[in-house]
């Protein structure tokens, strides 16, 4: 086919620019919103996903990570005695008050773990080591929150709930979904910071023996323990994600913004392709008079839409990469996995071709006799 679609598209550079701008805007908006959704979702459950535990045991009525209530740590011995359990450890997760050097207070989430076991502790350390948490008052925070917490250097001493705390390490990339950063400490130090009685824990993390049947282990534990809920890491992660993203409405808000971006993109592309079609209506009438089938004419219009989609996608991806990179230092992570990039190609194609249907509907109704009008 002679390049009628491509030539018509590039014939009016201004209109093409408007079309591509609309597509790029839609792509960037959708990528940012979905990226935020993915980032938020990841942040809500990243301490669960990086726990290296197979099962999470908490007080009955558990709905999400931050909802935990303290229970007696005597249950720990019952868990350890259960066949199929390779390791089990207490875990604290509780809100606290961080006092900055300038006296201002910030809310934090204190996470208490056993530094000797690779379960529930901090990961991706950029300074210090997990074992440093064994020393008195030791804490590890993420470098992303240094400015928020007034942290300027390793070894700095601050206060948590009126107790002395000393920074022995930094992590990189452990974001909190709420505005309260995670502060990792040993279990004992966390109890002190949180003013908790010594025999209290919030969770018990369980590592199963290799090859253990998880459902069977869970049933066994449920039979031995009273007033607890037991979830696999995957289940608890999904529950926490669902709570924060949908029960609070936060996720719906970002998804609605993504949908808005899609609608805006469709409207802009539909309008410009329609205007182009109207400009070339006589030509489509001539094509019909020459004997072109409706399918032939549709192909011309769809080709225009597809070319716009490909060009817009390429520009949109470049813009999205810049925006995502720029967000890395911010409080909210925008995730941009390759699956999202590939999906956006098909979504962009669908958006543009779908928008072209308004024009297709118009040319279907062309009266070929119009070609005789001077």
| Closer residue to other proteins, CB minimum distance, 103 or 374 | 374
Query: Per CB under 8 A, does 211 bind other proteins?
Result: no
Residue 7 is a binding residue for other proteins (CB under 8 A): yes
Shortest distance, position 271 Cβ to other proteins, whole Å: 21
CB-based burial label for 43 (10 Å; 0-12, 13-18, 19+): buried
What does DSSP assign to residue 41?
H
Please check whether residue 20 is in contact with residue 311, taking contact to mean a CB–CB distance below 8 angstroms. yes
User: How many Å separate Cα 184 from the centre of its chain?
Assistant: 22
Q: How near is the Cβ of 181 to other proteins at its closest, in Å?
A: 59
Nearer to other proteins, 256 or 290 (CB): 290
Position among 70, 134, 283, 343 found at the interface with other proteins (CB under 8 A): 283
Task: Identify the residue among 11, 60, 172, 226 touching other proteins (CB under 8 A).
Answer: 11
Q: Tell me, residue by residue from 290 to 309, as one string, x for binding to other proteins by CB under 8 A and - for no binding.
A: xxxxx-x-------------
Counting beta carbons within 10 angstroms of the beta carbon of residue 325, is it exposed (0 to 12), middle (13 to 18) or buried (19 or more)?
Answer: exposed
162 binds other proteins (CB under 8 A): no
Q: Tell me the two tokens of residue 26.
A: 């839609």
User: In a 10 Å sphere around its CB, with 0-12 CB exposed, 13-18 middle and 19+ buried, how is residue 181 labelled?
Assistant: buried
27 Cβ contact list (under 8 Å, min separation 6): 261, 265, 312, 313, 316, 317, 319, 320, 344, 348
What are the distances in angstroms from CA 107 to CA 176, 296, 317, 362? 12, 64, 37, 59
Place of tokens 């690779």: 118
- 371 counts as binding other proteins under rule CB under 8 A: yes
CB of 312 to other proteins, least distance (A): 20
| Binding range to other proteins, per CB under 8 A, among 135-143, 165-173, 329-337, 365-373 | 365-373
Please report how close the Cβ of residue 359 comes to other proteins at its closest, in angstroms: 17
Q: Which is nearer to other proteins, 211 or 374 (CB)?
A: 374
* Window contacting other proteins (CB under 8 A); options: 1-9, 181-189, 203-211, 230-238: 1-9
- Of 193, 90, 179, nearest in space to 140 by CA: 193
Using CB under 8 A, count the residues that bind other proteins: 24
Instruction: Determine, following the binding rule CB under 8 A, whether residue 86 of this chain makes contact with other proteins.
Output: no
- Residues 54 and 179 sit within 8 Å (Cβ to Cβ): no
Q: What is the binding site for other proteins (CB under 8 A)?
A: 1-4, 7-8, 11, 282-283, 286-294, 296, 368-369, 371-372, 374
């Amino acid at each position: 086919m002679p390049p009628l679609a491509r030539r018509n598209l590039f014939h009016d550079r201004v209109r093409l620019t408007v079309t591509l701008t609309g597509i790029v805007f839609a792509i960037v908006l959708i990528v940012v919103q979905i990226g935020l959704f993915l980032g938020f979702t990841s942040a809500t459950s990243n301490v669960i996903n990086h726990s290296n535990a197979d099962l999470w045991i908490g007080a009955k009525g558990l709905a999400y990570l931050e909802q935990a209530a303290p229970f007696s740590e005597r249950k720990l011995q019952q868990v350890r005695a259960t066949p199929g359990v390779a390791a089990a450890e207490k875990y604290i997760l509780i809100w606290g008050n961080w006092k900055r050097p300038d006296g201002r207070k910030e809310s934090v989430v204190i996470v208490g773990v056993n530094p000797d076991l690779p379960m529930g502790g901090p990961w991706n350390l950029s300074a210090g080591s997990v074992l440093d948490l064994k020393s008195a008052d030791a804490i590890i925070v993420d470098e992303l929150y240094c400015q928020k917490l007034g942290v300027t250097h390793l070894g700095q001493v601050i206060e948590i709930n009126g107790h002395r705390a000393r920074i022995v390490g930094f992590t990189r990339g452990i974001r909190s979904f709420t505005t309260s950063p995670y502060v990792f400490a040993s279990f004992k130090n966390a109890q002190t910071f949180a003013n908790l009685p010594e025999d209290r824990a919030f969770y018990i993390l369980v590592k199963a023996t290799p090859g253990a049947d998880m459902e069977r282990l869970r049933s066994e534990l449920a039979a031995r323990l009273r007033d607890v809920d037991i979830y696999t890491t995957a289940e608890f992660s999904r529950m926490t994600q669902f709570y924060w993203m949908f029960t609070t409405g936060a996720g719906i808000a970002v998804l609605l913004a993504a949908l808005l971006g899609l609608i805006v993109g469709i409207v802009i592309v539909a309008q410009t392709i329609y205007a182009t079609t109207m400009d070339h209506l006589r030509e489509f009438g001539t094509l019909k008079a020459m004997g072109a089938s409706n399918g032939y004419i549709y192909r011309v219009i769809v080709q225009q839409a597809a070319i716009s989609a490909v060009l817009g996608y390429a520009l949109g991806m470049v813009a999205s990469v810049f925006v995502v990179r720029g967000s890395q230092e911010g409080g909210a992570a925008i995730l941009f996995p390759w699956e999202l990039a590939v999906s956006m190609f098909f979504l962009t194609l669908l958006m543009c071709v779908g928008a072209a249907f308004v024009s297709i509907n118009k040319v279907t109704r062309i009266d070929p006799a119009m070609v005789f009008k001077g």
